[in-house]
Structure 1
Amino acid sequence: MSPHAPSGPSPSAGASPSVVLAGGGTAGHISPLLAIARAVLDAAPGARILAVGTQSGMETRLVPEAGFELATIDRVPLPRRPSLDLLHLPGRLLRAIRQSERILEDAGADVLVGVGGYVCTPLYIAARRRGVPIVIHEANTRAGIANRVGALFTRRVGKAFDQTPLRHARLVGMPMRREVAGLDRESARAAARTALGLDPDRPTLVVTGGSSGAASINRTLAASLGRLAEAGVQTLHITGRGKALVGPDGEPLAAPGYRQAEYVDGMETAYAAADLIVCRAGAGTVCEVAAVGLPAVFVPLPIGNGEQALNARGLVEAGAALMVRDAGFTPDWLGGEVLPLLADAPRLAEMSRRAAGLGIRDADATMAQMVMEAAQA
């Protein structure tokens, strides 16, 4: 892909602003970017939308699939510890800033929207140099360095979690797909279970480690199928791409009431089907289960800076979710905590109510309003 957006006349800001959105690398950055882009088009159908990422991120697939144009710049990671690679950083960053300035110029950008990731730092600097207004969304409880830099240049900053310390930020929630934000779990439950090959009337547990899967969660679930069946629980196990579980005979693992799938296209269907979900605690997942009022058991990723546990803390403290360390999520823990919870309908209903009370469903529209205000400033 070309590192530059095509040249063209710049429309005047207002009904037809030129909006450049920067972010990428992971779905955690790309999903809110796409939600904001769609909300901007709702607010201003004549808007020109251009996304900017790198050639190595998931955006090279997800952005075009969503129907938006993508430009790319060089990836400029910041070394996590002192090394000889630091000597190359200034030159790499300067080259990426120049690429970013060219993209903003060719797009006739009225506003730059950043959602974090490597791509944002050079674009924030380029926008600052060119006088292009900046709008930022921070998805995590611990803001990344790019958004911490960007927040020095603007007062238009939204965040998904109230506890995130970031300059000028205000709570807006997580921009998410309309199919999730608008989900009514109760009315969609029976049809969702039928679509997923489940019994509409049985207690339903959904287990997922995300699109890439989680080996530790998968192992615990595989060892718990007998207990789940004895308890009358049906389970939809989303194993992750390439992570299908097989039995001793080499065939896909099977048990009464157990269905596995590597991937579910449209997690709103799984959310609607579930009475309870066991999942990681990525920012997007935490915000989505709150928005739809789904009781959850969070098993935070055991590596990294502890961010996932922080993401889940608000729901756990509110009584809307449980949390267990990855090493603590064992068949015995599942039998002692998850199965009694699934059998306790009043407790599940109260958890659902508390989750929904913390969920925010209109973050995309709030961010779009911020974008329009910046474009017209």
Structure 2
Amino acid sequence: MNTESPLYVVLAGGGTAGHISPLLAIAGALRQSLPGVQLLAVGTPGGMEARLVPAAGLDLATISRVPLPRRPSVDLLRLPGRMAGAVKQAGSILDETGADVLVGVGGYVCTPMYLAARRRKIPIVVHEANTRPGLANRVGARLGGHVAVAFAATKLGRARHVGMPMRPEISGLDRDAARAGARQALGLDPDKPALIVTGGSSGAQSINRSLAAAVGTLADAGVQTLHITGRGKSVHDADGKPLAAPGYRQVEYVDGMETVYAAADLLLARAGAATVCEVAAVGVPAVFVPLPIGNGEQALNAGGLVAAGGALLVDDNDFSADWIRDNLIPLLLDKDKLARMAASSEHLGIRNADRRMADLILEVAASGQNSRKQDSRKQHSRTQHGRKQ
């Protein structure tokens, strides 16, 4: 590596927790691998990164948000000017930092950062979290970026399958050792079968409705349920009171999904890329209800884990109180099947994706530094030759 100055890595991404979480995990692994590394995250002013990145102790710079319209509109006509402005902002950041490598994890910020890096011949590393690649990362791959993916099925350039970078509290989780403490922290009975339901940070109203109709059936079966509804999405009964039943408890949010993973016998959730990868890494049996809107990426994300036997998949339209009664409760009461699902899940999961990404970034950065040194020597040689003539 360059001994004259510290390596400078710029990490771009944001908009959702699905982009920010792996970015922060990669930053942490880089600091462990190369303590002197200099890091800067780049996002947009209105994204979640504006709050989460500084809170994690990482410096953040911002550039203008430039959405890419999917159909003809006035915004499409304005796109070239907006993109040019964002690329100029991105270039200023890269120039001021003297970046050795750009790492992109997806989101609106990445396209202008990729374009600016390409113009400066700064090496690009792309991490794609979803099975169906996002537009920005497809751009990064076409610009010659070194591509890493969370799912083996992702088709994006000549990708390296590294898994999903995640917080060490999750990747290092020992579910058996943490189970008792996690259940106590979440107010769960240490001995009863535990179903934990979550729709992610924003909640899932269709899951909430179906579960509300099944809480009595779950209680009658001896199942305890922790229902993480999402902020501002608490579930009420017909009288407008907070939903209540024996063995049922609802909260809007749990700080630290590792506690949830340790406590659950079965997780019921959407199939966001981070959730699927974390479930596989730590070996939590899961039932996924993919988000019914969008491009179908959530069903694709869960496909590999379902095929391996670590999870079940149910369409949002089919998920109901009856489905819970006929499928979910029998599964929760079948300890042997849950154990087989957990083993299948762990076999497929990847716990060290953050370190794999750090290794790739350092490898690409070193190659880029060597190339620039060679270019500098060639330029110096041509200059000297010209002087002699």
TM over 0.5: yes
Report what 2:387 is aligned to: none
255, 274, 279: which is aligned to 2:269? 279
The one-letter amino acid paired with 2:345 is: A
Report what 1:310 is aligned to: 300
Q: 5+ unaligned residues in a row in structure 2: which ranges?
A: 368-389
SS in structure 2 at match of 1:21: strand
Report what 1:186 is aligned to: 176
Cα displacement (A) at 1:13: 6.6
Cα displacement (A) at 1:144: 1.0
CA distance in 1: counterparts of 2:270 and 2:337, whole angstroms: 22
1:112 aligns with 2:107: no
The one-letter amino acid paired with 2:87 is: I
SS in structure 2 at match of 1:287: helix
* Cα-to-partner distance string for 1:86-131 (whole Å, 9 max, x where unaligned): 2111111111111000000111111100001111011111001111
Q: 5+ unaligned residues in a row in structure 1: which ranges?
A: 1-10
Cα displacement (A) at 1:352: 0.4
CA distance in 1: counterparts of 2:232 and 2:209, whole angstroms: 15
Which moves more between the two structures, 157-166 or 78-87?
78-87
SS in structure 1 at match of 2:359: helix
TM-score, reference length from structure 1:
0.95
Report what 1:363 is aligned to: 353
Alignment of 1:231-242 (within 5 A): 231-242=221-232
CA distance in 2: counterparts of 1:13 and 1:209, whole angstroms: 47
Report what 1:17 is aligned to: 7
Cα displacement (A) at 1:16: 2.7
Report what 2:118 is aligned to: 128
TM-score, reference length from structure 2:
0.92
Alignment: residue pair count: 367
Report what 1:85 is aligned to: 75
Report what 1:324 is aligned to: 314
Query: Which protein is bigger by CA-based radius of gyration?
Result: 2
The answer as to whether partners of 1:21 and 1:49 remain within 8 angstroms in 2 is yes
The answer as to whether partners of 2:123 and 2:145 remain within 8 angstroms in 1 is no
Identity %: 67
Cα displacement (A) at 1:252: 2.5
1:198 aligns with 2:188: yes
Cα displacement (A) at 1:15: 8.1
Alignment of 1:1-377 (within 5 A): 12=2, 16-154=6-144, 156-377=146-367
* Cα-to-partner distance string for 1:107-166 (whole Å, 9 max, x where unaligned): 111110000111101111100111111111000011111111111233521100111110
**Aligned-CA RMSD value:** 1.4
Cα displacement (A) at 1:248: 4.5
The one-letter amino acid paired with 1:328 is: D
Which moves more between the two structures, 316-325 or 263-272?
316-325
CA distance in 1: counterparts of 2:350 and 2:171, whole angstroms: 8
Would the alpha carbon gap of residues 13 and 248 (structure 1) be closer, same or farther in structure 2, given more than 3 Å must change? farther
Cα displacement (A) at 1:56: 1.5
The answer as to whether partners of 1:16 and 1:45 remain within 8 angstroms in 2 is no
Q: Which runs of structure 1 show a deviation greater than 4 angstroms over 4 or more consecutive aligned residues?
A: 11-15
Cα displacement (A) at 1:250: 4.2
